Amino acid sequence: MAPEGYQRSGLQPYLDSLRQVPNATLLSVLLALLAVALTLLVWKLIQGRKSSQRTVLLVGLCDSGKTLLFVRLLTGTYRNTQTSITDSSAVYRVSNDKGSSVTLVDLPGHESLRLQFLERFKATARAIVFVVDSVAFQREVKDVAEFLYQVLTDCTVLKNTLPLLIACNKQDITMAKSAKLIQQQLEKELNTLRVTRSAAPSTLDGSTSSGTAQLGKKGKEFDFSQLPMKVELVECSARGSKAEEGSADIEDLEKWLARIA
C-alpha cells in the first residue's frame, strides 16, 4: 500500500501539470505531426509511381547494336561505339501527343555481364527491347534463343507481363534476314529449348535453372502468341543507309515506344 501511495503522489504533480498545459498548443502539435506524416506518405506514393516502371531496357547479344540504337534514339547522330562494360541510362522524350518520357537503359550484352545487369534493372522495367543482329543471326541463332528464353522465363518479367519488342537490327546490310524469318527460326529454337532447359540437371540449392515457368502451351508447337505478354517484331537499322551523314531507320521502333509510354 505504501509504495503505491508514493507512486501516485509522485505521478500526480506531473499529471496535473500536463492537464494545465493549454489544449491549443497540444492540439497544434498533434496536427503538425499529422500533416508531416501525410505529406511524407503522399510524396512517397508519388515518387514510387513516378520512378517505378518507367524504364525501357535495351538488351541483346554482344555487337547487336544496342549502344548505337541508344545514341540514335536520344540524339539522332551517329557515334562510334565499343563493347559496353556498364549500363548507360538517359531520359527519352517520346514523340506522341502526351509528350511523356521514359528512361532508356542500355545494358551490356557480354555473356558475363548480361544477367547481372538484367537482375538489377528488371524491377523498374516497363518494357524490354531485345535487339537482334539480323546479319549474324543464322550463326548465332542458338545463343539468341538462349538469351531470349532466359528473358522470357524470368519471374519478374512474367509477373509484370512486360511487353517485349524484338528489334531486328542491321537491316541496311543486304544479307540481313527479314523479321518474319527471324520469328520463325526463334519459335522453332525456343520450342526445342523448352525441352532441353527443363531437362537440365537442377542447381546446387535444389531449384531448377528456369524456375517453374513453362513457356507457351504444352503439346503444341511454340508460338509467340502463346505468351502472356505482348511480343512484336520490327525491322530497324541503327546505322542507317548513309552511316554518319544520314539518319537511322528507326521509325517503327519509335512508334512502338510511343505506344508503350
80 binds another protein (CB under 8 A): yes
89 binds another protein (CB under 8 A): yes
75 binds another protein (CB under 8 A): yes
Asked if residues 215 and 175 have their Cβ atoms less than 8 Å apart, the reply is no
Residue 71 or 179 with smaller CB distance to another protein: 71
CB of 238 to another protein, least distance (A): 13
Q: Which residues within the stretch 90-149 sit at the binding site for another protein (CB under 8 A)? A: 90-91, 106, 108, 110-113, 115-116, 142-143, 146
CB of 93 to another protein, least distance (A): 11
Secondary structure class of 165 (helix, strand, coil): strand
Tell me the C-alpha to C-alpha distance, in Å, between residue 11 and each of 16, 21, 77, 126.
Answer: 9, 16, 77, 59
Residues 6+ apart with CB under 8 A from 121: 55, 57, 87, 105, 107
153 binds another protein (CB under 8 A): no
| Grid cell digits, residue 70 | 541508344
Residues 6+ apart with CB under 8 A from 56: 92, 102, 103, 104, 105, 125, 126, 127, 128, 129, 257, 260
Query: Is 230 exposed, middle or buried, given 0-12, 13-18 or 19+ CB atoms closer than 10 A?
Result: middle
Distance separating alpha carbons of residues 144 and 156, to the nearest angstrom: 20
Please identify which residue in 44, 79, 217, 259 interacts with another protein, judged by CB under 8 A.
79
243 binds another protein (CB under 8 A): no
Please identify which residue in 7, 101, 161, 196 interacts with another protein, judged by CB under 8 A.
196
CB of 119 to another protein, least distance (A): 9
CB of 100 to another protein, least distance (A): 18
Asked if residues 64 and 131 have their Cβ atoms less than 8 Å apart, the reply is yes
221 binds another protein (CB under 8 A): no
252 binds another protein (CB under 8 A): no
Please identify which residue in 94, 102, 193, 261 interacts with another protein, judged by CB under 8 A.
193
Residue 88 or 185 with smaller CB distance to another protein: 88
86 binds another protein (CB under 8 A): yes
CB atoms closer than 10 angstroms to residue 261: 19
Residue 109 or 179 with smaller CB distance to another protein: 109
Residue 119 or 251 with smaller CB distance to another protein: 119
Asked if residues 248 and 239 have their Cβ atoms less than 8 Å apart, the reply is yes
How many C-alpha atoms does 223 have within 13 Å on its Cβ side?
6
Q: Which stretch binds another protein (CB under 8 A): 159-167, 171-179, 194-202, 220-228?
A: 194-202
Residues at the site binding another protein, with contacts judged by CB under 8 A: 67, 71, 74-75, 77, 79-91, 106, 108, 110-113, 115-116, 142-143, 146, 192-193, 195-197, 199-205, 207, 209
